[in-house]
Amino acid sequence: MRKKHTILIAGATGLVGAAAVEHFASLPDWEVIALSRRPVPLPDGVRHVSVDLADRAACEGAARSLGHVTHVLYAALFELPELVAGWRDPRQMAMNDAMLRHLLDALEPQARGLRHITLLQGTKAYGGHVEPAPVPCKERWPRHPHENFYWLQEDLLRERQPRAGWVFTVLRPQIVLGYSVASPMNIVAALGAYAALRREQGLPLAWPGGGRYINAGSDSRLIAQAAEFAGTHEVAANETYNVVNGDALIWQDIWGSFAQRFGMATGPDEPVALAQAMPPLEATWRRIAEREGLQVPSLERLVGSSWQFTDRCFGQGLAQPAHSSLSPIKLRQHGFAPCLDTEDAVHYWLERMQAARLLPR
């Protein structure tokens, strides 16, 4: 007997996608289909569909078996190797636009019962990568005037929705915390690898970033819960929501807890660009991985461009980084109450990566 809802999670190997697969697989009324290019371990009962969203024909072929899909969580993402510079690169925008178009073009004729699409955006919607954004950022503001694949994807949904049988919701998280290998923006993997490498060298866990500033995070488990809320509540139809844990943080103020986790002292600050300093330590990481029996012996594969992302999150090279915070109020006013402590969330995902032998204890 088919379940009440069937959700297709595109980008199932990423931070949000992986957490969403776990979340929806735990719900009795949901059938879960995980879509990604590469296979990954999945909870019992979850079906995997292997497809490259950049390949229109492959999407059309895969969609023939997806006619019963009722919900889509679109968490797929294409990034260029030069991560931050790529955010304003037309090639990055065009590919992300094409990937969503390919999936929608293939799925809509097959999934006649499609009811809801959740689309992920993020802090860049407020232009913080272009200029300092006001604090806190609010969904009701006019669209920030800069080029962004967010707008291409959102405009596609807004164009099609009035003629379709589905509605959509845009979710905007900030610094997603989760569990993934080779994610381009996994601050947890970068933090854990940085700590392990410093410890291996007999060095303290020195703060590598810039000056103090107010920031916030979004646990991928919370984002998955928000996607469930969006897909099952009429109030969320065609709405945009910030999705954040609910607290604020200054990284330096919780840094000591990470040092304690790895049995290290903090020592004085040592500002350094992780994207430049860490990749040359590949041999050191391989030594750690061999000794500790880690699953991913390649530092590049585990962290990749997340070094660049972490440098940005830590305000590396800036004496006074601009404060960055998204208002959680609209989502709460519409009925979504869950929240999380961000420091606890970072430790939760460090523990998950350690338990999976992706990071050493």
Is residue 118 predicted with pLDDT exceeding 90?
Answer: yes
Strand partners, 93: none
Helices 15-25 and 220-232 cross at an angle (nearest 10°) of 60
Residue with tokens 């980008």: 11
Mean pLDDT of 27-46: 95
Q: Where are the domains of the chain?
A: 5-174+219-243, 177-216+248-325+340-355
Helix (H) or strand (E) holding 71: strand 71-74
pLDDT at 182: 82
Q: Is residue 35 a contact partner of residue 10, using CB atoms and an 8 Å limit?
A: yes
Mean pLDDT of 155-176: 98
Q: Return d(Cα 232, Cα 361) in angstroms, integer.
A: 40
Q: What is the phi-psi region of residue 55: left when phi exceeds 0, alpha when psi lies from -120 to 50, beta otherwise?
A: beta
Per-residue pLDDT tens digits for 267-325: 999 999 999 999 999 999 999 999 999 999 999 999 999 999 999 999 999 999 999 99
Q: Is residue 328 a contact partner of residue 161, using CB atoms and an 8 Å limit?
A: no
Q: Strand pairing of 116-120 and 218-219?
A: unpaired
Q: Return d(Cα 244, Cα 203) in angstroms, integer.
A: 33
DSSP string, 21-48: HHHHHTSTTEEEEEEESS-----TT-EE
What is the domain class of 177-216+248-325+340-355 according to CATH? alpha beta
Per-residue pLDDT tens digits for 320-346: 999 999 999 999 999 999 999 999 999
Is residue 1 predicted with pLDDT exceeding 80?
Answer: no
Q: What is the mean pLDDT of the chain?
A: 97
pLDDT at 123: 97
What is the domain class of 5-174+219-243 according to CATH? alpha beta
Per-residue pLDDT tens digits for 230-272: 999 999 999 999 999 999 999 999 999 999 999 999 999 999 9
Residues 6+ away with beta carbon under 8 Å from 271: 207, 208, 209, 210, 316, 317
Is residue 2 predicted with pLDDT exceeding 90?
Answer: no
pLDDT at 144: 96
216: its two tokens: 């916030």
144: its two tokens: 């920030």
Question: Number of helices (H) and strands (E), helices first, in the chain?
Answer: 14, 9
CA angle (340 as vertex; 339, 343 as ends), nearest 5: 155
- CATH topology agreement for domains 5-174+219-243 and 177-216+248-325+340-355: yes
Per-residue pLDDT tens digits for 119-154: 999 999 999 999 999 999 999 999 999 999 999 999
Q: Return d(Cα 34, Cα 309) in angstroms, integer.
A: 26
Strand order in the sheet with 167-173: 47-50, 30-36, 5-10, 71-74, 116-120, 167-173, 239-243
pLDDT at 40: 85
Which of 79, 123, 73 shows the shortest CA–CA distance to 100?
A: 73
